[in-house]
């Protein structure tokens, strides 16, 4: 199933539209969830019983509206809803065990995302084992292209596979971007490089990695690029004409946002289109 988190915000509505369309393409059921988070209200002047009823009613209203939107967009998709006690990040992490994909808006009402890179989106994208798609508000015409960032490590393969599948389902082209930068030799500034040779080598890295999976998706048109640029700059530029930008997550830290690599975090901050973070 696909899981989408909602909190009544504009971006949550956009997330529902994205999620139900993906559920339709994948032929999967959609579960819409709302986190009933009592934490911010647990102070003496709020009676617990009245607060509980109010939060539950509001959650049911948000879920009802989201479900109506999903069924309007894709009537054939099986849609269920859940009001779940807990913080948004904890709720989504628990559902990660069952989900094929988790979708949430980039800006919520202090709920499922908060700031563009708020604690919830950072935490979920950094911890979830399934792909996490972060959606921006606002309508964009379809570009017919999926962009995926890759490097020369095996950790990028799940992101590459996810991007190929998204391109196949949408009938879209796939742009594979592998950016590179010249190494800086602080103690040997006179070192020179043959840039044409480096570009050729970088293109070969991309083509060899892509060739291993292209055979499974012969219907997907693939364009490979190896620009000399910082990865975040290259991917954000490519996102201008993309329907979805896919990145891996190579963070190595022990907790929180450190589990999300610096490129993933940078792309989530600046991308012009929805971003899917796929952990290796």
Alpha carbon distance 199, 131 (integer Å): 31
CA distances from 278 to 42, 133, 136, 233 (A): 36, 9, 18, 19
Instruction: Answer positive or negative: Cα dihedral of 82, 86, 88, 90.
Output: negative
Answer for the pair 84, 91: CB distance below 8 angstroms, yes or no: yes
Residue 196 is predicted with a pLDDT of 62
53 or 148, which is more confident: 148
* Higher per-residue pLDDT: 43 or 246: 246
- The whole-number average pLDDT for the span 28-38 is 90
Tell me how far apart the alpha carbons of residues 203 and 52 are, in angstroms, rounded to a whole number.
58
Question: 244-249 and 30-36 as β-strands: parallel, antiparallel, unpaired?
Answer: unpaired
d(CA 278, CA 247): 6
pTM of the prediction?
0.82
Among the four given CATH numbers 3.40.50.12370, 3.90.950.10, 3.30.499.10, 3.30.2140.20, the one describing domain 145-279: 3.40.50.12370
Cα–Cα distance for residue pair 107/6, rounded to 1 Å? 11
Residue 173 pLDDT level (bands cut at 50, 70, 90): very high
Q: Kind of pairing, strands 244-249 and 222-225? A: unpaired
256 pLDDT band, cuts 50/70/90, is: very low
Residue 175 has pLDDT above 50, yes or no: yes
Per-residue pLDDT band at 255 (split at 50, 70, 90): very low
Reference 33, options 105, 122, 95; nearest CA is 95
What's the pLDDT tens digit per position in 62-75? 999 999 999 999 99
Rounded (10°) angle between helices 48-73 and 10-26: 50
Q: What does the alpha-carbon distance between residue 162 and residue 171 come to, in Å, rounded to a whole number?
A: 14
Task: Burial-class residue 193 by CB neighbours within 10 Å (0-12, 13-18, 19+).
Answer: exposed
Sheet holding 275-279, edge to edge: 79-85, 30-36, 2-5, 101-105, 132-135, 275-279, 244-249, 145-149, 173-177, 222-225
Alpha carbons 243 and 274: distance in angstroms, whole number = 7
Give dist(CA 175, CA 167) in Å, integer.
10
The Cα 205–Cα 73 span in angstroms is: 41
Domains 2-135 and 145-279 share a fold: yes
Tens of pLDDT, residue by residue over 202-239, are: 666 666 666 667 667 788 898 888 787 888 998 999 99
Cβ contact 133:20 at 8 Å: no
**Nearest Cα to 159, choosing from 261, 40, 32?**
261
For the chain, give the longest Cα–Cα distance: 73
Residue 227 or 277, more confident: 277
Confidence of residue 99 (pLDDT cuts 50, 70, 90): very high
The CATH architecture to which 2-135 belongs is 3-Layer(aba) Sandwich (3.40)
Instruction: Report angle CA 65, 118, 31 to the nearest 5 degrees.
Output: 35
Give, for 278, the enclosing helix (H) or strand (E): strand 275-279
Cα(275)–Cα(258) distance, integer angstroms: 18
**Residue 226 to residue 185: CA distance in whole angstroms:** 22
What is the domain partition of the chain in residue ranges?
2-135, 145-279
């Amino acid at each position: 199933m696909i899981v989408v988190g909602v909190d009544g915000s504009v971006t949550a509505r956009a997330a529902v539209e994205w999620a139900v369309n993906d559920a339709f393409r994948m032929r999967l059921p959609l579960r819409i969830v709302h986190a009933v988070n009592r934490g911010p209200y647990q102070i003496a002047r709020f009676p617990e019983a009245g607060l509980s009823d109010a939060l539950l009613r509001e959650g049911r209203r948000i879920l009802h509206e989201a479900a109506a939107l999903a069924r309007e967009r894709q009537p054939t998709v099986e849609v269920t809803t859940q009001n779940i006690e807990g913080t948004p990040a904890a709720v989504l992490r628990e559902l990660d065990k069952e989900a094929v994909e988790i979708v949430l808006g980039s800006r919520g009402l202090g709920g499922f995302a908060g700031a563009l890179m708020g604690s919830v989106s950072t935490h979920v994208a950094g911890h979830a084992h399934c792909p996490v798609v972060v959606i921006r508000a606002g309508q964009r015409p379809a570009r017919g292209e999926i962009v995926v960032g890759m490097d020369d490590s095996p950790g990028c393969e799940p992101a590459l596979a996810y991007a190929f599948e998204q391109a196949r389902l949408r009938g879209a082209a796939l742009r594979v971007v592998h950016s590179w930068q010249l190494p800086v030799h602080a103690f040997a500034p006179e070192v020179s490089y043959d840039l044409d040779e480096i570009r050729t080598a970088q293109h070969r890295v991309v083509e060899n990695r892509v060739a291993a999976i292209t055979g499974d998706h012969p219907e997907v048109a693939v364009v490979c690029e190896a620009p000399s640029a910082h990865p975040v700059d290259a991917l954000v530029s490519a996102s201008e004409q993309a329907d979805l930008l896919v990145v891996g997550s190579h963070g190595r830290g022990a907790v929180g946002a450190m589990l999300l690599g610096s490129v993933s975090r940078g792309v989530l901050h600046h991308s012009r289109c929805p971003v899917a973070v796929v952990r290796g």
